[in-house]
Amino acid sequence: MASAATDTVSARPTPALKDELDIVIPTIRNLDFLEMWRPFFQPYHLIIVQDGDPTKIIKVPSGFDYELYNRNDINKILGPKASCISFKDSACRCFGYMVSKKKYIYTIDDDCFVANDPSGKPINALEQHIKNLLSPSTPFFFNTLYDPYADGADFVRGYPFSLREGIPTAVSHGLWLNIPDYDAPTQLVKPLERNKRYVDAVLTIPKGTLFPMCGMNLAFDRDLIGPAMYFGLMGDGQPIGRYDDMWAGWCVKVICDHLGLGVKTGLPYIWHSKASNPFVNLRKEYKGIFWQEEIIPFFQTAVLPKDCTTVQKCYIELSKQVKEKLGKVDPYFDKLADAMVTWIDAWDELNSSSGAARLPNGRSK
């Protein structure tokens, strides 16, 4: 006869997408922060991408199912193509997207903790991201009640019935309480500012509108948009940093608009625990602050041909346009455009049936 404790465990519902979602975490330190996330993350598989010194031992709390890859692993798996993966920058996380074999990805930074909603209840960020990804997006007509598929909402009067079916959601972009995601100049003039505002809303970003994507609380459908989730060349040896997730976001949004895919932003919130050094950030961002004034108009006017019917084709075409138009801004963009092509080559090689069979695992638990 089963004990009451056994009955309780067996009665727990299976977490949503348990076998279809990987959690990707870039880190340079021990992952003690996972203890706070244990109730929400433990059922899922983790892919940990260790940045920096590959000889450093990263400790992961017991009880988690994970793979851990360091720079030596990346070099071994990708060979010469490893040049497209950033070093000494959280952009290395996109290697985890490449080696995952799941349909969905959730990525989070190691300084992000569980936030509480206004009632004091801990927020299961992963659960909300899954809700966002599994419900349609509505980028072609704005609903003034925000996400019409959320509980307690619907399409408002005047919303075209022909558009109410929506389109597949490729990206769920979550937000943060406490430390805002500011650039260095804003950090310097507002060092004590904290985000205390919890807005209970999710909205679809309209077609033709770009947004600054933050990678610290982000989920996406890997099957729909994965090959475009390249966080660029940043960090060691590069003239720019802290634009990795934004670069990916601009590329992703242009491709989503072209392919008829949706991007949502809003809930869920996480608690961003610490501010990075604004002076260090300024050194990393300095060129990007100037370059973005030409990068953003480039993406706002980018047009992809009709024969770009896959994410890979879209991304290769975008790389050509980056080289042609942004290469004039700085030679860095020629290098970045080449890395975009290398990224797609590596993605396709690892995600072909033969490549998947050859892929060695990182250190697993």
- pLDDT by residue for the chain (365 residues), tens digit each? 334 444 444 456 889 999 999 999 999 999 999 999 999 999 999 999 999 999 999 999 999 999 999 999 999 999 999 999 999 999 999 999 999 999 999 999 999 999 999 999 999 999 999 999 999 999 999 999 999 999 999 999 999 999 999 999 999 999 999 999 999 999 999 999 999 999 999 999 999 999 999 999 999 999 999 999 999 999 999 999 999 999 999 999 999 999 999 999 999 999 999 878 999 999 999 999 999 999 999 999 999 999 999 999 999 999 999 999 999 999 999 999 999 999 999 999 999 875 554 455 555 55
Distance CA(79)–CA(76), nearest Å, equals: 5
- pLDDT (0 to 100) of residue 13: 81
Half-sphere exposure of 36 (CA within 13 A, CB side): 17
The 10 Å Cβ neighbour count of residue 130 is 21
- pLDDT (0 to 100) of residue 362: 57
Give me 138's structure tokens: 């509505």
**Residue indicated by tokens 């729909």:** 224
Helix, strand, coil shares of the chain as percentages rounded to 5? 40, 15, 40
Q: In a 10 Å sphere around its CB, with 0-12 CB exposed, 13-18 middle and 19+ buried, how is residue 144 labelled?
A: exposed
Distance CA(227)–CA(348), nearest Å, equals: 9
Residues counted in the chain: 365
Q: Which helix (H) or strand (E) holds 347?
A: helix 332-351
Give me 363's structure tokens: 């250190």
Q: List CB contacts of 25: < 8 A, sequence separation 6 or more.
A: 31, 46, 47, 48, 49, 93, 96, 107, 108, 109, 110
- pLDDT (0 to 100) of residue 11: 54
The model carries a pTM of 0.94
Distance CA(70)–CA(127), nearest Å, equals: 29
